Amino acid sequence: MVKLKWIALGLLGLLALCLGGCAKQRADITVMDNFIQDDTLGECFNAPALRFDALLEAWKDGHPDIELDEKKRAGSGDISALAVLGADHLPDVFMASPTLGRLLVEKGLVLDLSDYIPVQERVEPFVYGGAAYAFPATAPSFSVVIHEGDFPDTWTALYARRYKVAWGGNITDLLSPAMAANGAQAWFDHMIAADKECTFLNDDIMEAIVDATEMRDSGLLVEMTADEAILAFINRKYCAVVLNEESVYRLIDQLDSERRKLLRFSVFPSIAGEKNTPIGVPYGFFINARLAEDAGKLALCVELCRHLMQAAGADRGDDEALERLDNFIRQAKPCRNCAYYLSSEVWSPLKNTQLPPIETAVKMQNCYDQYYLGVEDFSEQMDLYYEEK
Amino acid sequence: MTGSSVLRHAKRASGIIWFVLFVFSYSVCYLHNTILVGSPQLSFFDPYIYYCVDLARLFACLCLIVNFCSQWGKVDSKRLISVYLFKLAVLTGLILYMHFGVEDHKTPPLLLMLFFALSADEQDENRLFSTGFGLGAAYTAILFILAMLGLMENNRGTAFGFQYRDNLGCYMLCLSLFYCILRDGWLTWLGELALLALPFVCLKCNDSKTAFVCGLILAACTMYRHYGRIGGAPYQDRDRFGPVIPLLFSVIYCPIALVKGAVERLKLRRGKGALRFFIRNGYILCGGLFILATATYRQFSPLWEKIPGIGTILSRFNLGQLGFEQFPVRWFGNQIPQIGLGGNEAAQPLYFVFDSSYIKTLLQYGALIFIVVIVLMTWTQYRLQKHHRYYVSFLLFLFALDSTMEFQLTNFVYNLFILLAFCKYSDKPGVEACERKSLLPTGKARRIALAGAFTALLAVLVLWCATAWQVSNWRGYTPHYAATVVVPGAYMDEVKSEALHRPRLTRAMRYLNSHKDARCIVDNEQDRDWLVAQAVDADRIAVAPATSVDEMLLNASTFMAENDFPPRLTVCTYAIQQARVQRHARALYIPVNSLTMNMPFGLHLANFTAEQWRLLWSS
């Protein structure tokens, strides 16, 4: 009986804890960022997050009468999860990718900031239908091959040497260079510029998708998580590794100065021969659509966004490898990293390893149509493909 | 007719009606849990679940009165009154919940579960679990066959009629728990092997990691108990079991023997009391700890991030935490819009679902239901241990563990365990029965049937594995695979696009260069010359003049046979043509093309089998 009493008390305590936690009042302004901070790593990796913290503190010092509730280091998944619940549940200011931003715009959950962002300051991925929706929060991302000086620079050479590369990215890292090499980027740009108008079947993009799938299926790229790829490179299990921006800095941070000196950066060669570096887009600061009703608060949020934008230029430190990386990125022949323009349903067919290239291309094309044309039911298009009409 | 005989008849009638209603409700809830929910063919069936709830509510009240009257005078009246007051309070709470609580399509199975649990006094445990297990196994087998034949949606290839494949994994775990309760853990040698294989099926086919872990613990502990009871590995009598089974079981039981030895040596049995306490309060502990972990979880914190392989738990913590931040804990729950992935895990960019039963119950159904469910489950545990049913109590603990990650605690189809709170416990077969059952006299007909069933199972498994291997390894454009590549020049005339000429040949050239065993068929000399100019050996290229793509494709198989080209076909054109090729290929039974088609698995299997026979015959 005594035990039961303690259990009942414990349960009540737990409930009280939950109830207490949930009864919190909303602050004047709520902010949510998703910079990643890893205390086990150094300045090279954590610089943007630390700079963001410093900027936020400075802003709070300058506005002592405003209560700022910050949910720092939230994952991007948080925003998409809260979006399900509606604008009342989203923070006032938050970071999101352009892809998610587009979806939030469609659902009317974020504010049109065209009146607050001059035309010359607008960043392309956050402009939907001619209106600007976000301030850039991070530097554009990229995807590179890191090696120590021995990396074949053509697909044929890679193939001939059976050169295995640890691959800690995703298929869109391959798709972007393939699209650029096959001339599909022009089609892709046109499609975005025309805003939801695209050619139904395009051979360039088919070719690019087939190339990317073929590269993935070649066995030369050994697919693993970014962390595993980093570890494999550090332990010299692989001589080269394909990583995206965040993982590149994570890797550099974990290497000693001697190994850093050896680091070289390259483009992953596409089958079609051209060397394009996939350059992505920044994350942006969006403002909750709810603030349209409160001009004063909106002005404060815009000011806050402008202030926090400086975090993108955080100094990652003075290092030979970092300098080499900066030069590489500056001189790179950029191609759009289409991952940022496509929601998950568009590029997920590419992840399905059981699909052959052509079928992947067909599915991908359907997803494009679904995404850009807003076609909900694409059975008609499928009928066209399979000529069952 | 005397009062007592009226009561006896009422008790008997209510028992029968209860059971019929139970079977019907369980079937309806099962359908409600599959992909058939909301489908046009079965939408007429949907309202039945609400009829079931209404009937169960009325009938639960009636059953309570009849059961109370029939038990009056037979048991301690104070205890009886307190138990029935508790039940009445719960029932009132549920009826209040039906009026004030939030409602979604998952609420009826929860309410049914609780109504049946409260009114199950006169029901026999074995009958309930054999019915649950029988219905569940039969329905799952039917769904499996329908999905294999392509008559039913098979999400992600291995959901077999369930909405999500991990739901099926969970359900298979629950079915094995039902069976273990039915047999009280004393399984035949075949049962033990199946119990051991099940977690791996859950992991490989259904990607259900929690079911895998719980299934492994279940198998290990069931075998440990068996080992402890008979003082060694079971089924060791070579005269009775033949040479293979004793050897197999000695190997399987090796780790169990080691653990047993370690337990004895370290005198760990002294902690039995504490372990029982832990198991008894498993639902409070699992629920409490999971909620606490969710409340204190911080994303990107090194503490959590450094633990490998717990990404799924972290995502549950994260969503749970968002839930706690956004919604207060209310007595009657919150209307929380939840968006899942719709079964295919790719179509929904926005995702918000509480998978953990504890978080879901507390936030969505409210504190009232949370307390009722936890109290009832803990009550069940206490009652089981009071009746010395420690093994079953342990099985319920495994269910508590599984519920931290999955939703099934409040679902009638999965949680039949709550019926043990008040139902009559049955006698169980002892350890001797399982060895005896393993040695049922096998007549000739029985032996033939068993051998046939085993052969069929083996054939299906071999075909399945072979097809899976073929699907993943025999794709076009992979270095391990060589095919005859067809380059129809007529395609450009058909689509009226000269721009395709070069890329089409470039693709063929690349393919031929990277696949040394590959061969090529073109329909004009110019294309062959172009390929030869690109360093492709002329003897690897055949010219088959054709005026249309269809004609070329139809002639391709004859050409391949005549020139001893690889008997698999791939084509250098684009999507529309590829689709046409696949249709032709299907008629020709060319495996690579049949496998690249987006067709149901059953058809796939039939195609593959036909192809194997054709190859076997021709060789």
pLDDT digits (tens, 9 = 90+) for B106-160: 788 899 999 999 999 889 999 999 999 999 999 998 888 777 665 677 776 678 8
Q: Are residues B580 and B552 in the same domain?
A: yes
Contact state of B351 with A385 under an 8 Å Cβ cutoff: no
Contact state of A214 with B477 under an 8 Å Cβ cutoff: yes
Model confidence at B408: pLDDT above 80: yes
> CA geometry: angle at B98 spanning B97 and B101, to 5°?
55
Share of chain A above pLDDT 70, in %: 75
- Cα dihedral value B53, B55, B56, B62, nearest 10: 150
**For residues B175 and B568, which has the higher predicted lDDT (pLDDT)?**
B175
Q: How far apart are CA A52 and CA B349, in angstroms?
A: 27
Q: Residue A172's pLDDT band (boundaries 50, 70, 90)? A: confident
Q: How far apart are CA B152 and CA B143, in angstroms?
A: 8
Q: Are residues B18 and B5 in the same domain?
A: yes
B352's torsion region: left (phi>0), alpha (psi -120 to 50) or beta? beta
Give the closest-approach CA distance of B176 to chain A in angstroms: 31
Please name the residues between 320 and 359 in chain B that touch chain A, using a CB distance below 8 Å: 322, 324-329, 336-339, 346-352
Q: Give the residue from B80, B107, B123 where a domain finishes.
A: B123
Q: Give the residue from B123, B156, B174 where a domain finishes.
A: B123
Q: Residue A379's pLDDT band (boundaries 50, 70, 90)? A: very low
> Which residue from A minimizes the CA distance to B594?
A356
Contact state of B315 with A362 under an 8 Å Cβ cutoff: no
Contact state of B349 with A343 under an 8 Å Cβ cutoff: yes
- Domain ranges for chain A: 27-139+281-313, 143-279+342-386
Q: Which of B82, B348, B475, B497 to mutate to test the interface with A (most CBs of A within 10 A)?
A: B475
Using a CB–CB cutoff of 8 Å, tell me whether B303 touches chain A.
no
Q: Which residues of B fall within a CB distance of 8 Å from A77? A: 315, 318, 351
Share of chain B above pLDDT 90, in %: 32
Give first-to-last CA distance, chain B, whole Å: 82
- DSSP summary character for residue A140: P
Query: Of the candidates B351, B378, B514, which has its C-beta nearest A81's C-beta?
Result: B351
Model confidence at A278: pLDDT above 70: yes
Using a CB–CB cutoff of 8 Å, tell me whether A384 touches chain B.
yes
Supply the pLDDT for residue A336.
Answer: 81
ipTM summary value:
0.77
Q: Give the residue from B123, B139, B165 where a domain finishes.
A: B123
Residue-averaged pLDDT of chain B? 80
**For residues B157 and B56, which has the higher predicted lDDT (pLDDT)?**
B56
In this structure, of A121-130, B324-333, B358-367, the range with the lowest mean pLDDT score is: A121-130
Q: Which residue has tokens 């039974």? A: B589
Q: What is the CATH number assigned to the segment(s) A143-279+342-386?
A: 3.40.190.10
In order of A226, B69, B169, B305, the CA distances from B309 in angstroms are 14, 55, 19, 10
Model confidence at A13: pLDDT above 70: no
Contact state of A219 with B478 under an 8 Å Cβ cutoff: yes
**For residues B378 and B517, which has the higher predicted lDDT (pLDDT)?**
B378
Q: Which CATH architecture has domain A27-139+281-313?
A: 3-Layer(aba) Sandwich (3.40)
**For residues B444 and A225, which has the higher predicted lDDT (pLDDT)?**
A225
Establish how many alpha carbons lie within 13 A of residue B296's alpha carbon, considering only the half-sphere containing its beta carbon. Answer: 10
Query: Of the candidates A21, A210, A343, which has its C-beta nearest B295's C-beta?
Result: A21
Please name the residues between 448 and 507 in chain B that touch chain A, using a CB distance below 8 Å: 471-472, 475-480, 497, 499-500, 503, 507
Q: Residue A108's pLDDT band (boundaries 50, 70, 90)? A: very high
In order of A290, B110, B295, the CA distances from B323 in angstroms are 20, 21, 10
Q: Are residues B113 and B82 in the same domain?
A: yes
Give the closest-approach CA distance of B347 to chain A in angstroms: 5
Q: Are residues B555 and B603 in the same domain?
A: yes
Q: Residue B466's pLDDT band (boundaries 50, 70, 90)? A: low
Supply the pLDDT for residue B469.
Answer: 52
Model confidence at B25: pLDDT above 70: yes
Supply the pLDDT for residue A290.
Answer: 93
Supply the pLDDT for residue B372.
Answer: 94
Q: Are residues B449 and B532 in the same domain?
A: no
Q: Residue B588's pLDDT band (boundaries 50, 70, 90)? A: very low
Query: Of the candidates B350, B475, B476, which has its C-beta nearest A84's C-beta?
Result: B350
In this structure, of A128-142, B256-270, B436-450, the range with the lowest mean pLDDT score is: B436-450
In this structure, of A24-33, A71-80, B265-274, B376-385, the range with the lowest mean pLDDT score is: A24-33
Supply the pLDDT for residue B137.
Answer: 93
Q: Which residues of A fall within a CB distance of 8 Å from B306? A: 40
Give the closest-approach CA distance of B189 to chain A in angstroms: 37
* A256-270 residue pLDDT tens: 989 999 999 999 888
Model confidence at B558: pLDDT above 70: yes
Q: What share of chain B is helix, strand, coil (3-state, %, to 5)?
A: 70, 5, 25
| Full domain range(s) for residue B36 | 1-123
Say how many CB pairs under 8 Å bridge A and B. 150
Please name the residues between 139 and 158 in chain B that touch chain A, using a CB distance below 8 Å: 157
> Which residue from B minimizes the CA distance to A85?
B337
Supply the pLDDT for residue A129.
Answer: 80
Give the closest-approach CA distance of B180 to chain A in angstroms: 29
In this structure, of A230-234, A373-377, B96-100, B596-600, the range with the lowest mean pLDDT score is: B596-600
Q: How far apart are CA A45 and CA A65, in angstroms?
A: 33
Pairing of strands A221-223, A264-266: unpaired
Q: How far apart are CA A128 and CA B219, in angstroms?
A: 56
Contact state of B300 with A85 under an 8 Å Cβ cutoff: no
Contact state of A210 with B507 under an 8 Å Cβ cutoff: yes
Q: What is the pTM of this model?
A: 0.78
| Cα A255 from chain centroid (whole Å) | 25
Residue B84 lies in a domain: yes
Contact state of A354 with B471 under an 8 Å Cβ cutoff: yes
Residue B309 lies in a domain: no
Model confidence at B609: pLDDT above 70: no
Contact state of A85 with B347 under an 8 Å Cβ cutoff: no
- Mean pLDDT for A110-129 is 89
Q: Residue B100's pLDDT band (boundaries 50, 70, 90)? A: confident
Q: Are residues B459 and B478 in the same domain?
A: no
* B469-525 residue pLDDT tens: 544 444 333 333 456 777 777 766 665 556 556 666 776 776 677 667 778 888 889
Model confidence at A102: pLDDT above 90: no
Supply the pLDDT for residue B598.
Answer: 38
Q: Which of A1, A12, A15, A18 to mutate to test the interface with B (most CBs of B within 10 A)?
A: A18
Specify whether the CB–CB gap between A161 and A152 falls below 8 A. yes
Q: Which residues pair with A288 in a beta bridge?
A: A110
Q: Which residues of A fall within a CB distance of 8 Å from B472? A: 353-354
> Which residue from A minimizes the CA distance to B510?
A271
Residue B336 lies in a domain: no
DSSP assignment string, B440-462: ----HHHHHHHHHHHHHHHHHHH
Q: Are residues B502 and B453 in the same domain?
A: no
Residue B279 lies in a domain: no
Residue B5 lies in a domain: yes
Look up residue B42 and give its two tokens: 């079965």
CB count in 10 Å sphere of residue B239: 6
Q: How far apart are CA B309 and CA B317, in angstroms?
A: 14
Supply the pLDDT for residue B445.
Answer: 77
Model confidence at A25: pLDDT above 60: no
Q: Which of A203, A213, A341, A364 to mutate to test the interface with B (most CBs of B within 10 A)?
A: A203
Residue-averaged pLDDT of chain A? 81
Q: Residue B599's pLDDT band (boundaries 50, 70, 90)? A: very low
Q: How far apart are CA B343 and CA A169, in angstroms?
A: 25
Residues present in chain B in total: 619
- Mean pLDDT for B395-410 is 94
Using a CB–CB cutoff of 8 Å, tell me whether A79 touches chain B.
no
> Which residue from B minimizes the CA distance to A355?
B596
- Mean pLDDT for A51-80 is 88
Contact state of B479 with A218 under an 8 Å Cβ cutoff: yes
Please name the residues between 564 and 603 in chain B that touch chain A, using a CB distance below 8 Å: 574-576, 578-580, 583, 596, 598
Q: Are residues B493 and B510 in the same domain?
A: yes
* A204-243 residue pLDDT tens: 676 787 778 778 777 788 988 898 999 999 999 999 999 9
Contact state of A10 with B284 under an 8 Å Cβ cutoff: yes
Helix axes B3-32, B107-118, angle to 10 degrees: 160
Give the closest-approach CA distance of B326 to chain A in angstroms: 7
Q: Are residues B456 and B539 in the same domain?
A: no
Please name the residues between 3 and 62 in chain A that touch chain B, using a CB distance below 8 Å: 3, 7, 10-11, 14-15, 17-19, 21-23, 36-40
Contact state of B295 with A18 under an 8 Å Cβ cutoff: yes
Supply the pLDDT for residue B619.
Answer: 38
Q: Are residues B495 and B607 in the same domain?
A: yes
Contact state of B514 with A159 under an 8 Å Cβ cutoff: yes
Contact state of A23 with B471 under an 8 Å Cβ cutoff: no
Q: Do A27-139+281-313 and A143-279+342-386 fold alike per CATH?
A: yes
Residue B598 lies in a domain: yes
> Which residue from A minimizes the CA distance to B351?
A81
Helix axes B77-100, B47-71, angle to 10 degrees: 160
Specify whether the CB–CB gap between A274 and A181 falls below 8 A. yes
Q: Are residues B456 and B503 in the same domain?
A: no
Supply the pLDDT for residue B370.
Answer: 95
Amino acid at B12: R
- DSSP summary character for residue A288: B
Residue B283 lies in a domain: no
Alpha helices in chain A (DSSP H): 2-22, 43-62, 76-85, 98-106, 155-161, 171-181, 184-193, 203-217, 226-234, 245-254, 257-262, 295-308, 320-331, 344-351, 357-372, 379-386
Model confidence at B37: pLDDT above 70: no
Look up residue A190 and give its two tokens: 């046109």
DSSP assignment string, A55-67: HHHHHHHH-TTS-
Using a CB–CB cutoff of 8 Å, tell me whether A2 touches chain B.
no
Q: Which residues of B fall within a CB distance of 8 Å from A187? A: none
Look up residue B25 and give its two tokens: 């409700």
Q: How far apart are CA B74 and CA A375, in angstroms?
A: 69
Q: Are residues B103 and B46 in the same domain?
A: yes
Q: Residue B580's pLDDT band (boundaries 50, 70, 90)? A: very low
Q: How many domains does chain B have?
A: 3
